[in-house]
Structure 1
């Protein structure tokens, strides 16, 4: 009789996501995940081929969550604020998908495309169909850079970081809108 399954792929990915936030990428090991789900490390290999696949699945789950969060935004400011809030709630996962670094497994393209859909739709409304991709990339790059600097303690000159966020979002959105008006 075969040994019963003691965990699921969803439980493994969920535990890995939690470990990523508490222990960082270096602490995201097969042993740590196995301990978190209550099995021995070799049992994980029934569900994932290894650590690289596990990291890729964590990145894919992160992008799926981000896409869902952004899909609920009704206007540019709400979308930008949702993006920033996600980065603050899941900083390690945010950095995993926004700035993975060399050699870090990356998610399948379809996950990035799905997560980008709300940004592209909003960008098309703001800038028009012809420049929607460029507008989406501009907004994403600015917001990801801003949030990454926040997460890494990059704003150390004083001042109100929230006011800087407000300033930046307003100016970026106004600039993107000006493309369709011009």
Structure 2
């Protein structure tokens, strides 16, 4: 009779996400995951090819989670309100999952999420961008939104705002100016 499964792929990936956030990506190993889920490391290879595959699965799960959070705040109301909600959710996500955020936006090419996963996660951003800038400019506007938010959040996570002032105020100012810039004349 086969041995019953003592873990699942979902549990393995969630545990790997936790390790990456708590201990850093460098400490995300098959052994560390195995210890936390209560199996021997060789058992993980039934579900995950190797560490690189595990890191890719973490990136996929992270971008899926980000997309779900963006979808939850961009409900199709006023485009400016939705843009502010998207930017705030993006920022909050990066603060809550900085290792995963880094993996999705700046991780090794082999570990980055599939283009289809990124496209799914970008659905709300594309929708809001199209509402602001018009359907013909939706992709360019979505890229502008993402680039601004990523730049701001990246500097914030790196502690690079060194000139004083209120970073919250600066963020809200940027969101408002971004909406102004993208809005159709």
- Which category of TM-score, normalised to the shorter sequence, fits these structures? over 0.9
d(CA) in 1 for partners of 2:98, 2:163: 22
Give me the CA root mean square deviation.
1.1
Q: Offset of 1:3 from its aligned partner?
A: 2.1
Runs of 4+ in 1 over 4 A off after TM superposition: none
Given the alignment of the two structures, is residue 123 of structure 1 paired with residue 129 of structure 2, yes or no? yes
Counterpart position of 1:88: 95
Q: Offset of 1:110 from its aligned partner?
A: 1.2
* Cα offsets for 1:115-169 (capped at 9, x unmatched): 0000000000000011100000001011011111111111122111111101111
TM-score of the pair, normalised by structure 1:
0.94
Task: Kindly indicate whether the alpha-carbon contact (under 8 Å) linking 2:129 and 2:141 is maintained by their aligned counterparts in 1.
Answer: yes
Counterpart position of 1:61: 61
Task: Kindly indicate whether the alpha-carbon contact (under 8 Å) linking 2:30 and 2:51 is maintained by their aligned counterparts in 1.
Answer: yes
Secondary structure in 2 matching 1:72: helix
TM-score of the pair, normalised by structure 2:
0.93
How many residues align structurally?
178
Q: Which runs of 5+ in 1 are unaligned?
A: none
Counterpart position of 1:174: 180
Counterpart position of 2:38: 38
Counterpart position of 1:97: 104
d(CA) in 1 for partners of 2:113, 2:141: 23
